[in-house]
Amino acid sequence: MSEPLPVEAYVETSPTRPQKRRIISIRWTLPLFVVTPVVIGIALTSSLAYISGKRAIDDSIDTIGKEVAKNIENEVLRYLEAPISLSESALAGANSGVLNLQDMRALSNNFWRITQSKQLPKIFFYGNRLGHIAYSERTKEEHIIKIKDVATQDQYITYLADNDGNPVTIKATDAQYNPKAQDWYKNAKKHQQPIWSQVYVAQDGTNLVLTRATPFFNASGQLEGVFGSDISLLELNKFLDDLTESSKGEAFILEKTGALIAASNDANLFSGEGDTFTRVKAEESSNPLLKAMISQLSQKNSGHNGIADHTSSNMISDGFSFNYGGQAQLAYVYNLDVNSNLDSSFSDWLIVVTIPKNTYTKTFNKNTRQTLFWGGVTTVVASLLAFAAARYMLQPIEKLNQAADDIKQHQFNPATLADVMQRPDEFSVLADVFDDMATVVVSREQTLADQVKQLEQEKLQYGTRGSDRYALDAAIRHAKQARNQYLKH
């Protein structure tokens, strides 16, 4: 009788499952799932902070530029309205008889009292149809009175005034001066109404001057004389300097022809020597920043002399950028918004404000760099922590995966899961389940193997009769199928 075959010979090979293609490993997906939200969150937060911060800086610069321009406009209007108020008061005094327009000495004394006020023009005068004149001028060092009348034998005499406004010391005498021959007198007589002169350079070449002339008519409508007031435009320079100091920018006032009226720096407003002086235009200015801005504005608006014709809008241009000295500058250009008291010619005056962006973005850029640095550090730290956490979670998974393979290969060793069972988290419970499952699998496998072996022995012992052999073969096949099905799952 032949020896029974080993039990392995009776084990039918279970059909091999198709191997699953693993595209992405949990070793990478788990850290990515942890790190990606952190990185995205930091990136979004930093981006939003940068965008909102940049918008706030731009809005702040825009607000400062517009506020500076508005303050300049208010000061210019106040400056121009002062001689208007003074002339109206003088007209009221002349009409009421308070001012004696026939007594030039008394009139000059009245003008002296008026020009003591720092809120009013420093120069005020009156010339009549006889060619006589009363003139008062306040300077930093002294007060000057000029008189031409019958008492001076039609000589235009310049006096130093005492503390009461009385002429005491003769400084100069001019026998040729005639107020009726001056432009301010002739223009007021021609137009029969208050009129402003064009901006001009003073005869001594020390100042830019604007004159307002107001005609005075007697009861019969005849011209008796003209009140006049000179205002120094150089005084606007000091105001522009003080105003732009806090904004670190520069400001200019100019006409649409490009001729400068005032500047917040030492830019020359006029040039020449002797008796010949000419006003300086912006594109010829000694200030390179102004020249760069005018050049950019010329390209932007395609206007003559760098200034476009925009009489319909108070603001010629929204803030526009240009480069100067390697730094970005913002410029704002406005038309002077004249009121009903001012001549329409003042609508040709432009207010220009330039602000260096770097002054306001320096701190912002520094904060941005710090944000990027600490954002990068946070990302690196978060990534390292994520990989450490992932590694901590992956170790028991790898052990459990190895245990599953060992169970499938009938090579399970309980020591494989010993470390996992000692963990304080849920993986220890899962390891216990795997260990129990391995025990059950091995036990059932052994039971099925014993059943097959026993059936084989019975077949050898009792399977000589046909009916018994057939029954044993059927039992063996059934046992093998059950075992294979079990191994398969």
d(CA 69, CA 336): 9
Q: What is the mean pLDDT of residues 481-486?
A: 61
Q: Is the pLDDT of residue 2 over 80?
A: no
User: Stretch 345-365: mean pLDDT, rounded?
Assistant: 82
What is the pLDDT, as a whole number, of residue 469?
Answer: 62
Contact between 87 and 214 (Cβ < 8 Å): yes
3-state secondary structure (DSSP) of residue 102: coil
Helix axes 26-96, 357-408, angle to 10 degrees: 160
pLDDT reported for residue 7: 41
Mean predicted confidence (pLDDT) in 36-50: 82
Residue 470: the pLDDT is 65
Read off the pLDDT of residues 175-195 as tens digits, 9 standing for 90 and up. 999 999 999 999 999 999 999
Which has more confidence, 173 or 370?
Answer: 173
Q: What is the mean pLDDT of residues 92-105?
A: 93
Query: What percentage of the chain carries pLDDT values higher than 90?
Result: 27
Virtual CA dihedral for 374, 380, 383, 387, nearest 10 degrees? -140
Q: Is the per-residue pLDDT at 479 higher than 80?
A: no
Q: pTM of this prediction?
A: 0.68
Q: What number is the average pLDDT over the span 374-393?
A: 80
Helix 357-408 × helix 426-462 angle, to 10°: 20
Q: Residue 438's pLDDT is what?
A: 73
Segment 405-460, tens digit of pLDDT:
777 776 777 777 777 777 777 777 777 777 777 777 777 767 767 776 777 776 67
Long-range contacts of 63-69 (CB under 8 A, 24+ apart): 64/247, 64/249, 64/355, 65/247, 65/249, 65/319, 65/330, 65/332, 65/353, 65/355, 66/332, 68/243, 68/244, 68/247, 68/249, 68/251, 68/353, 68/355, 69/251, 69/332, 69/334, 69/351, 69/353
How many residues in total does the chain contain? Answer: 489
In sequence order, which ranges of 208-356 are alpha helices (DSSP H)? 235-245, 288-301
| pLDDT score of 471 more than 80 | no
Going by pLDDT thresholds of 50, 70 and 90, the confidence category of residue 30 is confident
pLDDT tens digits, 150-160: 999 999 999 99
Say how far apart CA 181 and CA 132 lie, in whole Å: 12
The per-residue pLDDT of the chain, averaged, comes to 80
Task: Identify any residues that bridge with 201 across adjacent strands, giving them in sequence order.
Answer: 208
Name the more confident of 399 and 107: 107
Q: Torsion angle of alpha carbons 295, 297, 298, 304, nearest 10°?
A: -120
Q: What pLDDT is stored for residue 461 in this prediction?
A: 67
Per-residue pLDDT of 15-29, as tens digits, reads 455 555 555 666 677
Rounded to an integer, the average pLDDT of 271-281 is 83
Contacts for 295-304 with beta carbons within 8 Å, 24 or more apart?
295/322, 296/320, 296/322, 296/331, 297/331, 297/333
Q: Residue 221: pLDDT above 80?
A: yes
Whether the pLDDT of residue 171 is over 80: the answer is yes
User: Cα(126)–Cα(13) distance, rounded to whole angstroms?
Assistant: 129
pLDDT at 303 over 60: no
CA distances to 91, 224, 227, 407 from 217, in Å: 9, 5, 11, 123
> Residue 183 has what pLDDT?
94
- For the chain, which domains are there? 80-232 (3.30.450.20), 235-360 (3.30.450)
For residue 424, give the DSSP letter.
S
Q: Which residue has the higher pLDDT, 43 or 214?
A: 214
The pLDDT value recorded for residue 162 is 92
